[in-house]
Chains A and B, each alone.
Chain A
Amino acid sequence: MASIGLINYATFMGTMIGIYGILALGLNVQWGVTGLFNAGIAGFFAVGAYLSALLTAPPSPERIMGWELPVLVGWLGAMAGAALIAWPIGRVCLRFRSDYLAIATIGVAEVIRLVLRTEETLSGGARGITGVPRPFGGLEYSLSQFAYFALVIAVLLMVYWALERQLTAPWGRMMKAIRDNEQAAAAMGKDVERRRLESFVLGAAIMGLAGALYVHFMRAITPEAIDPMIATFLVWIMLILGGSGNNRGAILGAVIIWLIWSMSEFITDQLPADVATQAKYVRVFLIGLMLQLILRFRPEGLLPEESVQRTSHLAPPRS
């Protein structure tokens, strides 16, 4: 009993880590590789989650859609939807320098959140969408959770593999060139604005996929889930801690932060009952403290970017 319980807990954490890992990978494309300061991760996460829910959930009289399509269609729809939303935003906002882009994307994410919260016919409003199917959801608790965990990890590995290929290809080096010196890249004939838009849209699509994976895991979505603290800033901390510019770093950051976030509660529970309630805040403090320490002593993250070593054996791009 106890060991099954631990496995259940581990698979739950593994699934959440997988979902956050994908979010961090999406952010890594935008920030780590291209230098786009997207502070509106929650917005794209929400678009993916709600769209996939609407495509696959049963219909309900109070809102639109509910088409009961296969889950895979929901996932692809989530990616396409997040990309479609990102495109016009990118067209407008990517002309801003980094900190202005951050402000603009926070604004966009808040707009998305408020629209989803208030537009009852679109999203179920404050009550959200329930009855979203989970693949293997019919199985017994542990099995169903484990099967979904395996699925999420498979998706995570696929995304990782695809991004690794994309980033070691000339496209990836071009993006880094744009990030490091925009004028030089432009002088080399690169269409800076278009390339940045590509990266922004790709990252957003990956975030949308993470949203879709999340909604099918929880079988429901409500506006509380797209709180910026949980869906934006936690992801940023993961990427910065793990090492921006490095896909493995992004995943490692997700693993470490989620473990600390989740397991620190066991430690704070050991404190006397009088302070145990207040001690719940220690988790928030710990995460902040770690970020401070990392930025102070290891600003490049635990697994720094390694583009030079990994691509130096390849011939320089011809263009």
Chain B
Amino acid sequence: MNKTRASILTLALAGALATAPAWAQNVKVAYLVGITGPIAGMAPTMVQSMKFAAEQVNAQGGIGNGGKIDPQVYDSGCNPQLATDAATKAVNVNGVIGMVGPSCSGPVIAVANSVTVPAGVLLITSSGTSPKISTLDDKDLVFRTVASDDYQGRALARTLKARGTDKVAVTYLNNDYGLGLAEAFSDEFKKLGGTVTASRAHEDKKASYRSDLAELAKGGADTLVVFAYGNSSGLTIVRQALENGFFKNFVGADGMRDENMIKTLGAENLKTFLVSAPAGATGAGFEKFSKDFKAAGGDPNGTFAATSYDAAFLMALAIEKAGGDKAKLSQALREVATAPGEPILPGEWTKAKQLIAEGKDIDYKGAAGDHEFDANGDVPGDYILYKVSGNTFAEIERMK
């Protein structure tokens, strides 16, 4: 065993020496993304937008007095074993002071529990949506720029109720996305005095959902809430419900906001179709990010692109505010991200740096939302209700 330990140390030492910083003023930040594994398709855009944030920071004056953000990209594999291993390397061998990521909720929980929280490292995830992340015992070191699945479901329930719907049937895709939304929605809807006549999970990619729909329709509700994807089971369900007249009104969440729905079913058939989606894609912050990121060759509409950018940019702001002091990072993050303060849009690093140097309070208005963190380090999420208009979706109201 001694020999093994010795060789482990030697190898680790070799690794550490090889990656020693160019100069001491640079600040190392880990970008932990699921490069291999189930979300490999989304990872390149996420890494690109995180790196893009670091490039903007470095091009506009960097950190402190001439230092740079030195991003260290690690692979979390969307898997807790790999993610904790990578996080341990990042924190202990490369000495990062903050971590953006990991991707996927399970790795976030494992990494926070066993690496970053015990080691006192700030973690901002851009893609972990599980409600469990809110309740971690995290010493205020775990934040996220993506809203918990919980919020959208609740916001949708409140909005529907306020618009006068009292009775709904719910069907959801049987995965953590569908389940999380359906649970939060039903809970909130019942609390407000509404009736959920039936709630059924469905499996993806079936040819017919008529028997599911018949069961759902039994309760007498004329509104069907579908938490699924509009290019898959969601489309089939709405089509078959229309064909057979099971329901009159249809409501979906962001997964259903798919223009493919309108193309396939026709706008004239979807007059009673409402969807909610995160507001990120409309604000001034997103427009600026979108323009800059496109110019740099990125896809601003890629899944988690905006949230990943915000996580990386917020991390840089927090480091600047805290003067590179690891222990003050989480406090600094709250100060730079939340109101009051001078608004900062994505990419406005020079302005932010100057204001911080003058000791003024700033408030980052990001690409994916305003990021007003609550006590759990969650963002409330800003959602908009859309209806079908012509060949696209038109905003009806902002949901609260």
Asked if A194 is an interface residue, CB under 8 A from chain B, the answer is: no
Whether the pair B15, A266 counts as a contact (CB closer than 8 A) is: yes
Which residues does chain B contribute within 8 Å of A144, judged by CB atoms?
A: 118
- Assembled-state Cα–Cα distance A210/B194 (Å): 47
Whether the pair A130, B80 counts as a contact (CB closer than 8 A) is: no
- Assembled-state Cα–Cα distance A128/B109 (Å): 10
Nearest CB in chain A to that of B82: its residue: A230
Nearest CB in chain A to that of B5: its residue: A10
Whether the pair B81, A120 counts as a contact (CB closer than 8 A) is: no
> Which of A24-32, A200-208, A215-223 interfaces with chain B?
A215-223
Whether the pair B107, A224 counts as a contact (CB closer than 8 A) is: yes
Q: When the two chains form the complex, which single residue of A128, A230, A281 contacts B132, counting CB atoms closer than 8 Å?
A: A128
Q: Which of A12, A134, A255 has its CB near the most chain B CB atoms (within 10 A)?
A: A12
A127-B9 contact given A217-B114, A255-B4, CB 8 Å threshold: no
B187 to chain A, nearest CB (A): 11
> Which of A79-87, A173-181, A269-277, A299-307 interfaces with chain B?
A269-277
Whether the pair B12, A265 counts as a contact (CB closer than 8 A) is: no
Nearest CB in chain B to that of A4: its residue: B92
Whether the pair B113, A5 counts as a contact (CB closer than 8 A) is: no
Which residues does chain A contribute within 8 Å of B36, judged by CB atoms?
A: 280-281, 283-284
A9-B92 contact given A14-B8, A141-B118, CB 8 Å threshold: yes
Q: Which of A123-138 contact B (CB under 8 A)?
A: 124-128, 130-131, 134
Whether the pair B80, A225 counts as a contact (CB closer than 8 A) is: yes
- Assembled-state Cα–Cα distance A267/B176 (Å): 36
- Assembled-state Cα–Cα distance A131/B180 (Å): 20
Which residues does chain A contribute within 8 Å of B109, judged by CB atoms?
A: 128, 130, 220, 222
Which residues does chain B contribute within 8 Å of A1, judged by CB atoms?
A: 95
A218-B8 contact given A224-B107, A265-B89, CB 8 Å threshold: no
Q: When the two chains form the complex, which single residue of A5, A12, A127, A141 contacts B130, counting CB atoms closer than 8 Å?
A: A127
A137 to chain B, nearest CB (A): 9
Q: When the two chains form the complex, which single residue of B77, B85, B176 contacts A12, counting CB atoms closer than 8 Å?
A: B85
Whether the pair B44, A277 counts as a contact (CB closer than 8 A) is: yes
A224-B78 contact given A10-B9, A118-B174, A259-B11, CB 8 Å threshold: yes
Whether the pair A2, B89 counts as a contact (CB closer than 8 A) is: no
Which residues does chain A contribute within 8 Å of B82, judged by CB atoms?
A: 230
Whether the pair A126, B179 counts as a contact (CB closer than 8 A) is: yes
**Contact mask B306-332 → A, CB, 8 Å, 1/0?**
000000000000000000000000000
A222 to chain B, nearest CB (A): 3
Can you list 24 A-B pairs, Cβ within 8 angstroms, ordered by A?
A5-B93, A5-B95, A6-B13, A7-B9, A8-B92, A9-B92, A13-B85, A13-B88, A130-B109, A130-B135, A130-B136, A217-B114, A218-B114, A220-B109, A220-B110, A222-B80, A230-B81, A265-B86, A266-B15, A266-B93, A269-B19, A270-B19, A280-B35, A280-B36
Q: What are the nearest 9 A-B pairs in CB distance? A: A222-B106, A126-B176, A266-B15, A5-B92, A224-B106, A141-B118, A219-B113, A280-B75, A8-B92
